[in-house]
Chains A and B, each alone.
Chain A
């Protein structure tokens, strides 16, 4: 067993765990943060994307012990004080989901995308940047729309939704 201390959604946590424990297992099974999903378990599908020190990573391919002293944000950590994060609100507004399984990973990837590429995202950029997230329902059209609107909303700018 190994001892590990990290911050998850702003709260300090310490655990004594088997070094094999994947970050996604720790989040789901120990912390009961089940918003982070396991899809392929082979770092392809993106259902398990969380932020590690602010960067999108696939939690199925990170050991919990590798997160010592680091900050993890999951889908549960995006909303503040009962208000949805602008990207979450945009996914709801634009119905950026069908079955919903890929949605947490899509949203975490989208928030990371805005961090890296800014608030004015064209469709080509969004589609290209989603190469590591698979929607098995093939509901990409509304996901792309939601991300464009969510990115603009994160800047506090006018939501595309309002114009449509």
Chain B
């Protein structure tokens, strides 16, 4: 790890000021992606701005129509939240599938959506549920937020403060984990929303999370795993690597989608 200066601001304003002062500054939340990346010298920020001491960033709030999760809420806090489980059980189940217990005590939802790893779980939930990503400057719809591989609509120095999920009629997440890294080889989030049905895929796309629109159209006719019979995802634009080739990932998308629809339908 290369040397850096460490800052621990106690307000968002102070954090934004520190980020503005150093073009090479990085925000650290749980640090479970950033620190390993820095150890490998794939990232070498000049300074770290730690959000841990900024107050009121880890709250969980439920209203009749949405669940809003503070950016610094850990995966363990989401996984264990009775409020979220009652409103969107798919979300607590997703959080419980990230990493392992010790990792879930540190990793945060804000860090996950800010990093937009193509194999991360939360982007699938955000896009399927039509989440709104709140920052210190504005609110961004998930549809406009995830723009590519490790890329988001966030501007330089913009800080994710919350993620707000509208409560769907039904939803479920199914994940085929890489057994070593525990990241999604393929993860499929299915949401039956008041306005439409969404099927999103993480872990597979070479550009990150995406919607499987053919499956969405098929499920709009009837919300049943049978509606996906004979439908297969295209391997074009899917990742091929030593863990799985594109054809295998395409197959897994169909399998995970059918399981997720069944699970959601049973709710």
Interface, chain A (partner B; CB < 8 A): 2, 18-20, 41-44, 46, 49, 52, 55-58, 61-63, 65-66, 68, 109, 112-113, 116, 129, 131-133
Contacts and interface: CB of A to CB of B under 8 A. Distances in A.
Interface in B164-203: 180-182
Contacts of A132: 99-103
Given A66-B31, A112-B101, A20 B106 contact: no
B151 interface: no
B36 interface: yes
Contact of B180 (A19, A44, A52, A62): A44
Contacts of A46: 100, 102
B93 to A, nearest CB: 14
Mostly helix, strand, loop or mixed at chain A's interface? Answer: mixed
Contacts of B39: 41-42
B4 A20 contact: yes
Given A49-B102, A56-B101, A132-B103, A66 B50 contact: yes
- Of B48, B52, B105, the most chain A CB neighbours within 10 A belong to B105
Contacts of A56: 101-102, 105
Nearest 8 Cβ contacts at the A-B interface: A132-B100, A19-B6, A55-B105, A56-B102, A131-B100, A58-B102, A20-B1, A65-B6
B211 to A, nearest CB: 30
B101 A63 contact: no
Nearest to A17: B6
Given A19-B48, A41-B39, A66-B50, A109 B1 contact: no
B242 interface: no
Contacts of B31: 61-63, 66
B180 A109 contact: no
B263 interface: no
Given A19-B48, A66-B52, A131-B100, 17 more contacts: A20-B3, A43-B99, A55-B76, A56-B105, A57-B102, A58-B102, A58-B106, A61-B31, A62-B31, A63-B48, A65-B8, A112-B102, A113-B101, A131-B182, A132-B100, A132-B103, A133-B100
Contacts of A57: 102, 105-106
Nearest to A108: B102
A49 B103 CA distance: 10
B5 interface: yes
A116 B180 CA distance: 24
B121 to A, nearest CB: 15
B3 A18 contact: yes
19 contacts: A18-B3, A19-B3, A20-B1, A20-B4, A41-B39, A43-B32, A43-B36, A46-B102, A58-B102, A61-B36, A62-B106, A63-B35, A63-B48, A66-B28, A68-B8, A116-B101, A129-B101, A131-B182, A133-B100
Nearest to B5: A19
Interface in B76-126: 76, 99-103, 105-106
A129 B5 CA distance: 36
Interface string B5-30: 11010000000000000000000100
B162 to A, nearest CB: 22
Contacts of B1: 20
Contacts of A41: 39
Contact of B4 (A19, A42, A112, A129): A19
Nearest to B32: A61
A108 to B, nearest CB: 9
A35 B113 CA distance: 35
A63 B100 contact: no
- Of A43, A44, A68, A113, the most chain B CB neighbours within 10 A belong to A43
A43 B36 CA distance: 8
